[in-house]
């Protein structure tokens, strides 16, 4: 594991400068990234940075053996300050979180809750389905959980009430944005926004791969995605491409206003504060999407 701690990382990323006159190339993006740590397994799950403003340096990752039918290898808490990696659960498909101290894990037998303070793990409610994607509405006990048969459920009342949302069809991923607007991805790689009506998001390009990125609650309305090989953001002002030809990275997370972290080739990297990038790019770029 890299010995760079979180405080050093934050100083590094804030100090980076980005040219706002064009979309950032993927090779430049990778060159300006910092390796945080490496692992023997593929990192396939979401990340959470716990309390990043205070630089406590904790991230949470999901590992799997992709050569063995994506066999789950556990959920890990990585402390960049102490240079330690600890397995906190043997299984896990996805992560979401409520605040700095509560993390929810999607598993093959429902949802688990992890308290970072006392490091306790327990089953969350009575929902027992095989959950492959999980998202939580900010300031509410409402979850959306996608099961392995690609159905979406509303989960409330501390995980004890779950209702099928049959308006969402053939779902493989769900995500609330920072303003609690639900987005989801279908098996056909279509992206929808769910408000009063169902709105399909048109990227004006053939999509072979799309994934919604984890993002913490901020005042910004940005929602990040990987579309084919490009890092893209959806904002109220339109759709922007931030990085082109980023490549097939295996997991992503944009947390607080600090940085974006991503995984490729069994290594986890950190990049510059994306809100600074978006602020620079939004008014000047003429983009393909």
Residue 13 has pLDDT above 80, yes or no: no
pLDDT tens digits, residue range 196-216?
A: 889 999 998 999 999 898 766
Residue 286 has pLDDT above 80, yes or no: no
Put the strands of the sheet holding 171-176 in their side by side order: 171-176, 182-186, 191-194, 198-200
Domain boundaries, the chain: 6-281
Label residue 53 exposed, middle or buried (CB < 10 Å: 0-12, 13-18, 19+): exposed
* Residues 2, 151: Cα–Cα separation, whole Å: 39
pLDDT recorded at residue 141: 93
Label residue 185 exposed, middle or buried (CB < 10 Å: 0-12, 13-18, 19+): buried
* Residues 183, 223: Cα–Cα separation, whole Å: 9
* Span 214-234, average pLDDT: 77
Residue 236 has pLDDT above 70, yes or no: yes
* Span 259-284, average pLDDT: 60
Q: pTM for the full model?
A: 0.83
Residue 254 CB partners (closer than 8 Å, separation 6+) = 213, 214, 215, 216, 224, 260, 261, 274
pLDDT recorded at residue 15: 29
- At residue 99 the predicted structure's pLDDT band, cuts being 50, 70 and 90, is low
Residue 287 has pLDDT above 70, yes or no: no
Superfamily designation of domain 6-281:
TolB, C-terminal domain (2.120.10.30)
* Low-confidence winner among 40-44, 147-151, 248-252, 257-261 (lowest mean pLDDT): 257-261
* Span 275-279, average pLDDT: 43
Residue 97 has pLDDT above 50, yes or no: yes
Residue 149 has pLDDT above 90, yes or no: yes
CB 234 within 8 A of CB 213: no
* Residues 165, 162: Cα–Cα separation, whole Å: 9
Residue 100 CB partners (closer than 8 Å, separation 6+) = 50, 51, 116
* Residues 129, 107: Cα–Cα separation, whole Å: 8
Q: What percent of the chain has pLDDT over 90?
A: 32
* Span 63-72, average pLDDT: 72
């Amino acid at each position: 594991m890299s010995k760079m701690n979180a405080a050093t990382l934050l100083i590094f990323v804030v100090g980076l400068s980005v040219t706002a006159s064009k979309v950032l190339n993927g090779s430049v993006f990778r060159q300006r990234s910092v390796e945080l740590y490496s692992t023997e397994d593929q990192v396939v799950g979401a990340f959470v940075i716990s309390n990043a403003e205070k630089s406590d340096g904790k991230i949470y990752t999901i590992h799997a053996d992709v050569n063995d039918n994506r066999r789950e290898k556990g959920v890990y808490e990585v402390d960049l300050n102490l240079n330690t990696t600890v397995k906190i659960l043997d299984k896990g498909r996805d992560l979401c979180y409520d605040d700095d101290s509560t993390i929810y894990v999607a598993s093959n037998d429902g949802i688990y809750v992890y308290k970072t303070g006392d490091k306790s793990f327990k089953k969350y409610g009575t929902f027992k389905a095989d959950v492959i994607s999980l998202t939580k509405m900010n300031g509410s006990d409402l979850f959306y959980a996608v099961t392995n048969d690609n159905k979406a459920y509303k989960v409330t009342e501390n995980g004890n009430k779950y209702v099928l949302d049959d308006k969402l069809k053939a779902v493989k991923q769900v995500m609330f944005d920072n303003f609690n607007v639900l987005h989801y991805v279908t098996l056909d790689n279509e992206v929808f926004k769910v408000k009063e009506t169902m709105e399909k998001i048109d990227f004006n390009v053939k999509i072979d791969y799309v994934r919604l990125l984890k993002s913490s609650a901020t005042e910004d309305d940005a929602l990040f995605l990987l579309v084919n090989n490009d890092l893209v953001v959806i904002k109220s002002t339109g759709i922007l491409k931030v990085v082109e030809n980023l490549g097939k990275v295996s997991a992503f997370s944009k947390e607080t206003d600090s940085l974006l972290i991503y995984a490729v080739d069994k290594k986890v990297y950190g990049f510059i504060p994306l809100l600074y990038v978006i602020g620079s790019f939004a008014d000047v770029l003429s983009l393909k999407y």
